[in-house]
Amino acid sequence: MNARENQIRAWTRQKPEWIPIQAGLPYLDWTAQGYEEKELERICQRHPVLFPNFQDGTLKRNHEMVYAQFPDLVAGKPYTDYWGSVWETKITGMVGTVTHHALEDWENFENFRAPDPDDNDGMRKIDWEGYQKAAASPHRDQFFFGLGLPHGHTFLRVQDLRGYVNFLCDMADEDPRIDKLLDIVCDFNVKLITRFLSYKPDCISIPEDLGMQNSPMLSVEQFRRYIAPRYERMTRPVKEAGIIVHEHSDGYLMDLIDDIIRTGGTVINMQDLVNGIDSMERYVKGRIAIDLDIDRQNITVFGSPKDVDDHIRECVSKLGSPEGGLSLAYQPWPPTPPENMDAAFAAMEKYCVTDYLFR
């Protein structure tokens, strides 16, 4: 069984041979963040299951690539997305914030138009030729082929356009213009998804954040009224085509989880400590596959390597099963100690692959 087949089995709960894992370091200038680049490279090279092609200089090359391929992630250079909102970041390689909301004033709505989905995804240009090449590859059955909307496709996109406070007030006031704006955004997303479907990918992702540390960013009623119907419109054709739907949201989701499962699909990437391992075991496990986002705020930053190992073992033992339904993802950020990165990578490989707990 190759990695593609195993991942499909895991996310569709058909008894994978191991738990899929992925990890990566953000495209930062790690030296500027106080790290020794060579030390981080040696750590990655010690974990060939997670980093099979990692070479000396990879971190530096990844950071340099940001300037050529991710203009929205370059510090000191405001970036206007294709919806007309302006982004700025303080650290190259890190997502910034919107400093100008294109529709902060509703007076600008009369002439507002969506971007061209044949040209871009709202944030960046789309390499349709590259997608076509991947879809037609003679080795297509050897790699997992996923496509997806940009992060922040619906709820966050309207927030970027209107501003968070304005958007909450729009929903509270039941302003009819907010439905029209959400429909414009959803129509754009559906056009992208329709074209994605023509490539017959293994998976289509719809990623955005709905949660804060202790609560969702909107009420359950607002999610059901304004966001869930748009999610359902986007995911329905994907599910009807028999393609995996991968959802993502950072933050606390448990108040919304029933509606997310109903309008979503196959798998959801959600955070461990914010939502609670025991709560996810009780209310999420078995209903939708969990692509678990391993903590990068508490245990892996401030705990010991043993604490990190214990935490990942607990995640796997409580949320995994022989039937599947679990995968793990981890992306360490400063100020995570290098030894804790090493411990997290080792624990993921050990409990999910080499000494798979459910074998």
pLDDT tens for 176-211 read: 999 999 999 999 999 999 999 999 999 999 999 999
Confidence tier at 11 by pLDDT (50, 70, 90): very high
pLDDT of 220 strictly over 90: yes
Residue type, 184: I
pLDDT of 357 strictly over 90: no
- More confident position, 357 or 337: 337
Residue type, 139: H
pLDDT at position 358 is 86
Confidence tier at 92 by pLDDT (50, 70, 90): very high
pLDDT of 265 strictly over 90: no
**Rounded mean pLDDT of 277-302?**
97
Q: pTM of the full predicted structure? A: 0.95
Strand order in the sheet with 86-88: 79-80, 86-88, 97-100
pLDDT at position 245 is 97
- Which residue in 87, 226, 255, 258 sits closest to 158, CA to CA? 226
pLDDT of 124 strictly over 90: yes
pLDDT at position 94 is 97
pLDDT at position 53 is 87
Confidence tier at 171 by pLDDT (50, 70, 90): very high
**Rounded mean pLDDT of 327-346?**
98
pLDDT of 359 strictly over 80: no
**Rounded mean pLDDT of 78-84?**
98
**Rounded mean pLDDT of 89-114?**
96
DSSP assigned state of 150: P
pLDDT at position 168 is 97
pLDDT of 337 strictly over 80: yes
Buried b (16+ CB within 10 A) or exposed e, 282-314: eebbeebbbbbbbbbeebbbebebeebbebbee
- Which residue in 264, 309, 267 sits closest to 285, CA to CA? 267
- More confident position, 359 or 184: 184
Mean predicted lDDT score pLDDT of the chain: 96
